[in-house]
Chains A and B, each alone.
Chain A
Amino acid sequence: MDADHDELIERAATTLRRGAHRNPRAIARILAAVEGRPRHWWRSVPWPSAPYSLAATSLLIAASLILGFFTRQATERPRNERELAGLPAARPLPVVPAARVTGEALPLPVQFTLRDVRAAQVALIGDFNGWSPSATPLEPGDVAGTWSVTIPLSAGRHVYAFLVDGKTWMTDPRAQTSRDLDFGHANSVLIVQAP
């Protein structure tokens, strides 16, 4: 490639760069469009200053998550410990019965459990709570290092993660991982189906 040709590309690029024009009306439309939207992210996650290390995170994990769910029909068999033990990498944990659900439109109770012996606190963050680090803390269980919480979730697809000690974003090792193409975070995905 000779100098003239480089100049040609630079001329083309310079010409294209001139195509940026301020458009106050379009900007106003965007600001108007976001005005009424919920502001969950005001309660933003307190990110650590150190780079996020997935490898380090995975070393911290000796985790399992159990989804406890129950139908309103007493005849329907709930998941038992044997079934849970059969899941890959799962550590059988007792499933705590949740409230019986009545009415098809009602949210369904889902239990999230994490095992991390080094964690001092664990929060469940997801699209259902606006990724709030304070909305859904997990409670320590009877077994050392186990944490759990049961929350009502509507049927559908939910994306979530655990926030350990307020700084480590952790996916559920047993769940399918979803990478949001836009934001880069690996999250876990759960699909709740109505009975």
Chain B
Amino acid sequence: MAVAREESPAVLWAIQPANPSTVRQSTDIDPAVPLRARGGDAKAYAELVEYFHARCMRYARYMLGEQEEAEEAVQDTFIRVYDHLGQFRSDARFEPWLFRILANRCRTLRARRRQRESLVTTGELPVVAAEAPEDTRDLLEEVEAALDDLPTEQREAFLLRHVEDLSYEDMAVITGVRLSALRMRVKRACDALRTRLIKEQGRGR
């Protein structure tokens, strides 16, 4: 028998406990619920899923652009939560912990999809779906289309900040990216969205 150590970078990172000064008007669940779920309370786990599912689906759908993949990402996320609740720290906040898992799942699925798409043979003609005329698109469609054009990092940052209403501190926990870089991503995303939406509105007039 031989034993070998895996070659992997030794990067240390820990979920920080909540800092009262940086906690925004909370969208997080009552902290007692994840602790009860961690202690084996199945009803508490169901409460967690019920509480966060709609938001998780919203985030995943905007990140992935597909309902089916979004459902897969969200289901995987909640299963991972279930399997690893034992590692959830009692002094940590649940919402960023959950969104970190979800954001990772979304990134993985996007990467997998890109890989699949790159395997399409060059001789194959793409099937282009008929698009609705520009003037029939409502604002949601316009915004979704604009979101879709953003780089993944900017879309992620914009959604976490402006749609999920999370603090930059929580976003740093979720993405592992520094605050200054996150602010830049959000700014760039806003700039790109604004330019695109103004252009769309100009067309609509």
Contact = CB atoms under 8 A, between A and B. Distances in A.
B16 A40 contact: no
Given A177-B11, A186-B12, A39 B40 contact: yes
Contact of A37 (B50, B82, B100, B190): B82
A180 to B, nearest CB: 8
A112 B88 CA distance: 25
B3 to A, nearest CB: 5
Contacts of B176: 181
Contact of B39 (A17, A44, A108): A44
A185 B14 contact: yes
B17 A51 contact: yes
Given A179-B12, A186-B13, A12 B143 contact: yes
Interface string A2-18: 00010011011101111
A9 B139 CA distance: 12
Contact of B75 (A12, A30, A44): A30
B93 interface: no
Contact of A182 (B61, B85, B90, B101): B101
Given A30-B75, A47-B89, A178 B159 contact: no
Interface string A39-50: 111111101111
Interface stretch (A20-28, A113-121, A140-148): A20-28
Contacts of A1: 190, 194
Contacts of B132: none
Contact of B71 (A26, A41, A47, A182): A26
B86 interface: yes
A68 to B, nearest CB: 9
Interface residues of B, number: 66
A83 to B, nearest CB: 12
Interface residues of A, number: 66
Nearest to B141: A15
A182 B100 contact: yes
Contact of B4 (A37, A48, A193): A193
B13 A26 contact: no
B16 A51 contact: yes
Contacts of B113: none
Contacts of B183: none
Contacts, number: 185
Contacts of B40: 39, 42
A57 to B, nearest CB: 10
Nearest to A46: B90
A157 to B, nearest CB: 7
A185 B87 contact: yes
Interface stretch (B51-59, B114-122, B123-131): B51-59
Contacts of B143: 12, 15-16
B15 A184 contact: yes
A191 B4 contact: yes
Nearest to B61: A19
A13 B144 CA distance: 10
Contact of A101 (B1, B8, B45, B89): B1
A193 B14 contact: no
A11 B163 contact: no
B1 A23 contact: no
Contacts of B71: 26
Interface string A151-195: 000000100000000000000000111110111111001111111
Contacts of A189: 5-6, 8
A54 B197 contact: no
10 contacts: A9-B193, A12-B143, A16-B62, A27-B46, A41-B38, A51-B17, A69-B1, A69-B2, A183-B87, A190-B3
